[in-house]
């Protein structure tokens, strides 16, 4: 029996040209849904939980970004591990670490222990998310890449839809630590569907050892593509916004400036996630026809505008409207992972995805720290308040400026999906 037939018999997907089944994509999406459900449950309460240790906005920001520090450092190693070892085993290890770290965060007696828990969570997230992204990219063919990756992102966002409201209610009904324990249970539950995913071979030539010289050579080749760098920078700014504005400034602004409680903040974040899911999935199919750059460019410029409006919210209703619009606009970035895959050398997919995740996660790290620092510098103190002061507009201006810069840079990037679509039309016309 040939190697190819043996691999198919054993349920092993042999190469990156294989187009997996919808069932496999939905299975992988279900696991990520559970992970994001747990992760987003702690989103509305995490800044307040960090503030309970009597720390500044900058240190609150570090609680949010410390998760991404370890994830950023391990994204490339995770991609390399997924090339050498069983991807399912790596994803399961990541899920175990996510569950363990959530329990530790829930029991954290001090700010330092909370930081340690968040860093362990970052390790688990790097192992799971990077490997899952490689897995999805490997089973997605060119013709359906945008559709399937946006379907995956849409399922992922279902977790972000229900998580904030669920987490806010848990905190109000039970205790501010309760969402962490439910997060631990949910990520543990996610191991079950992961076990039945098919086994994949690596995207390129299998190697018995991780040769550093070869690894750096592959990294240089991937990074030598200007379009890869321009697109990943644009995605970096969106990740910067996600943790810096959505996960840090918005909960702090809603709690301190508008005096909203955890369940109300969670509901507002849910409105944004619902709007994102409604625009993200159809945008994937559309990007297969019109290309990836146009939706991403529109997303950047419109997000800059709505970010500036967030600070003008005066109550829960106006803030909900702004965050819902913000969420719908963010959905236009749905094909971004497909865009990076289009620009990646097919035999270096794991390296490309690791670099993409690392650059994106750098935005996770910088966003809360930088915007938290700006918020500290510009906040208006409130006598007798337990927080650092009212959030002013300046950190929102910094975020909007970065988005505009990323928009201008993206204009110089290639769009292979659009090129393929144009060539296909020309062939049909002939």
Look at 47-61, 75-89, 234-248, 403-417 and tell me which has the smallest mean pLDDT. 75-89
Residue 209 lies in a domain: no
| Cross-strand partners of 199 | 12
Residue 246 lies in a domain: yes
pLDDT at 45 over 50: yes
* pLDDT for the residue numbered 140: 66
pLDDT at 148 over 50: yes
* pLDDT for the residue numbered 58: 84
Q: Is residue 50 a contact partner of residue 114, using CB atoms and an 8 Å limit? A: yes
pLDDT at 391 over 70: yes
Percent of the chain, pLDDT > 70? 85
Look at 93-97, 98-102, 299-303, 387-391 and tell me which has the smallest mean pLDDT. 387-391
Residue 211 lies in a domain: no
Residue 297 corresponds to which tokens in the numbers above?
A: 């460019």
* pLDDT for the residue numbered 208: 43
Q: Which residue has the higher pLDDT, 387 or 243?
A: 243
Element (H, E) at 100: helix 87-106
The angle formed by the CA atoms of residues 17, 22 and 26, to the nearest 5 degrees, is: 115
* pLDDT for the residue numbered 428: 63
Give the mean pLDDT of 287-310.
Answer: 90
* pLDDT for the residue numbered 109: 92
Look at 266-275, 381-390, 411-420 and tell me which has the smallest mean pLDDT. 381-390
Q: What is the 3-state secondary structure (H, E, C) of 369-417?
A: HHHHHHHHHHCECCCCCCCCCECCCHHHHHHHHHHHHHHHHHCCCCCHH
- Report phi then psi at 154, rounded to 5: -65, -45
* pLDDT for the residue numbered 201: 58
Query: Which positions ≥6 away from 254 have C-beta within 8 Å?
Result: 260, 264, 265, 268, 316, 319
Sign of torsion, CA 198 273 241 111?
Answer: negative
Classify 199 as helix, strand or coil: strand
Q: Which domain holds residue 365?
A: 19-199+218-429
Query: Which positions ≥6 away from 168 have C-beta within 8 Å?
Result: 44, 45, 261, 262, 263, 264, 265, 266, 267
pTM of this structure = 0.70
- Report phi then psi at 207, rounded to 5: -125, 140
* pLDDT for the residue numbered 118: 92
Q: Is residue 356 a contact partner of residue 232, using CB atoms and an 8 Å limit? A: yes
pLDDT at 122 over 60: yes
Q: What is the DSSP string of 330-373?
A: HGGGTTHHHHHHHTS-GGGHHHHHHHHHHHHHHHHHHHHHHHHH
Residue 42 lies in a domain: yes
Place of tokens 């393929």: 420
pLDDT at 213 over 50: yes
Residue 271 lies in a domain: yes
* pLDDT for the residue numbered 145: 61
pLDDT at 154 over 60: yes
pLDDT at 19 over 80: no
Residue 12 lies in a domain: no
Instruction: Give residue-wise pLDDT tens across range 239-252.
Output: 888 888 888 889 88
pLDDT at 324 over 70: yes
Residue 207 lies in a domain: no
- Report phi then psi at 389, rounded to 5: 135, 175
Give the mean pLDDT of 343-361.
Answer: 78
Look at 59-68, 75-84, 138-147, 278-287 and tell me which has the smallest mean pLDDT. 138-147
Give the mean pLDDT of 278-288.
Answer: 77
Query: Which positions ≥6 away from 90 have C-beta within 8 Å?
Result: 78, 81, 82, 127, 128, 131
Query: How many domains are there within the chain?
Result: 1
Element (H, E) at 168: helix 145-173
Element (H, E) at 13: strand 12-13
Residue 14 lies in a domain: no
Element (H, E) at 12: strand 12-13
Residue 70 corresponds to which tokens in the numbers above?
A: 């370890």
d(CA 192, CA 425): 44
CATH of the domain at 384: 1.20.1250.20
d(CA 160, CA 183): 13
Percent helix, strand, coil in the chain, to 5, is: 80, 0, 20
Q: Is residue 303 a contact partner of residue 416, using CB atoms and an 8 Å limit? A: no
Q: How far is CA 62 from the centre of its chain?
A: 17
User: Furthest-apart CA pair in the chain: how many Å?
Assistant: 78
Query: Which positions ≥6 away from 367 have C-beta within 8 Å?
Result: 65, 239, 240, 241, 242, 243, 244, 245, 248, 399
The angle formed by the CA atoms of residues 94, 96 and 100, to the nearest 5 degrees, is: 115
């Amino acid at each position: 029996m040939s190697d190819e037939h043996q691999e198919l018999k054993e349920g092993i997907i042999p190469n990156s040209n294989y187009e997996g089944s919808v069932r496999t994509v939905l299975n992988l999406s279900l696991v990520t849904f559970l992970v994001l459900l747990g992760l987003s449950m702690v989103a509305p309460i995490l800044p307040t939980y960090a503030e309970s240790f009597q720390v500044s906005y900058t240190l609150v920001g570090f609680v949010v970004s410390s998760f991404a520090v370890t994830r950023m450092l391990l994204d490339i190693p995770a991609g390399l591990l997924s090339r050498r070892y069983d991807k399912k085993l790596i994803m399961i290890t990541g899920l175990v670490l996510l569950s363990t770290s959530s329990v530790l965060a829930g029991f954290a007696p001090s700010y330092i222990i909370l930081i340690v828990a968040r860093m362990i969570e970052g390790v688990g997230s790097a192992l799971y998310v990077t490997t899952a992204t490689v897995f999805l990219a490997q089973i997605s063919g060119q013709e359906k890449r945008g559709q399937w990756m946006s379907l995956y992102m849409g399922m992922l966002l279902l977790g972000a839809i229900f998580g904030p409201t669920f987490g806010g209610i848990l905190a109000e009904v039970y205790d501010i630590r309760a969402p962490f324990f439910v997060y631990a249970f949910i990520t543990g539950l996610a191991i079950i569907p992961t076990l039945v995913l098919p086994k994949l071979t690596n995207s390129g030539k299998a190697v018995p050892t991780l040769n550093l010289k070869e690894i750096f050579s592959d990294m240089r080749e991937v990074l030598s593509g200007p379009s890869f760098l321009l697109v990943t920078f644009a995605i970096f700014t969106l990740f910067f916004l996600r943790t810096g504005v959505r996960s840090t400034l918005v909960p702090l602004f809603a709690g301190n400036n508008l005096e909203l409680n955890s369940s109300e903040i969670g509901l507002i974040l849910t409105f944004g996630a619902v709007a994102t899911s409604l625009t993200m999935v159809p945008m994937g199919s559309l990007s297969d026809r019109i290309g990836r750059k146009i939706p991403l460019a529109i997303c950047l410029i419109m997000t800059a505008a709505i970010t500036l409006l967030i600070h003008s919210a005066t109550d829960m209703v106006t803030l909900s409207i702004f965050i819902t619009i913000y969420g719908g606009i963010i959905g236009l970035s749905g094909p971004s992972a497909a865009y990076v895959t289009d620009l990646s050398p097919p035999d270096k997919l794991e390296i490309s995805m690791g670099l993409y995740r690392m650059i994106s996660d750098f935005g996770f790290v910088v966003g809360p720290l930088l915007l938290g620092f700006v918020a500290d510098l510009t906040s208006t103190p409130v006598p007798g308040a337990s927080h650092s002061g009212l959030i002013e507009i300046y950190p929102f201006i910094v975020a909007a400026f970065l988005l505009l810069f990323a928009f201008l840079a993206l204009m110089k990037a290639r769009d292979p999906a659009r090129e393929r679509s144009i060539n296909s039309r020309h062939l049909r016309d002939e």
